[in-house]
Amino acid sequence: MTPSANLQGQTALVTGASRGIGKAIALALGKAGAEVIVNYSSSSNKAKEVVEEIISSGGNAYSLQANVAEESSVNEMVKTILERSGHLDVLVNNAGITNDGLLMRMKTEDWQSVIDLNLSGVFLCTRAVSRSMIKQKKGRIINITSVVGLMGNAGQANYSAAKAGVIGLTKSTAKEFAIRGITVNAVAPGFITTDMTKDLNSDQILSAIPLGKFGSPEHVAGAVCFLAADPAASYITGQVLQVDGGMVMS
């Protein structure tokens, strides 16, 4: 599928882009014409494969290692991008982990690790890119949250809390940055076919999805490309776009 968005001349950073949804987003942004920075934490070989796939399709990309839960690592990554590419126009905060368990048995470190990466990581990356985006008076920040941030989920108190926090962070930063020409939106995937969902009870979940099927990473990538597009999405900010097959309707 070729994205309809035209992102020629744009530079986009996708965190956690070596696999799954992040990979699909990176590939789609590359096909739309953006120079893509494929961020990874430890999967250097997989990140390299994503870069090679983008380049082989006629795009431009490179990979950078950074743990988005660590302030110094994030700041160094953004500094490198600005030095190498000259500007940063699109940030997709996608990196995330799960560490599931019932709250009464959840270890503090299992709570904190998810909050640190899934929520604090979004804060750190957003803050790191904000100065350059404000200076250039334009930018697109797209945060990948989840439907569980809207409805909760038993056994995922840490993940649900982090993703709900991302929604609040999205709305707050959208209000702060709007006057500077920067839009901030969130995409909330439902159940998407990835390594993270492969062991779930699909029959039980499918009964709760009106469209009756799991989504694909490409469905999420299409939503991200739309929100990154200019001028198509230039008047949209502070919104949560659900890509969930109708699972959560408000």
Catalytic positions, written as ranges = 159
Q: List Cβ neighbours of 225 (8 Å cut-off, separation of 6 or more).
A: 3, 4, 5, 7, 25, 28, 29, 32
State both tokens at 179: 């006057």
Q: List Cβ neighbours of 176 (8 Å cut-off, separation of 6 or more).
A: none
H/E segment holding residue 183: strand 182-189
Q: Of 198, 200, 93, 193, nearest to 153 (Cα)?
A: 200
31 CB neighbour count, 10 Å cutoff? 20
Cα three-residue angle 171-39-197, rounded to 5 degrees:
75
Using alpha carbons only, how large is the chain's radius of gyration in Å? Answer: 17
216 CB neighbour count, 10 Å cutoff? 16
| Residue 42 to residue 16: CA distance in whole angstroms | 10
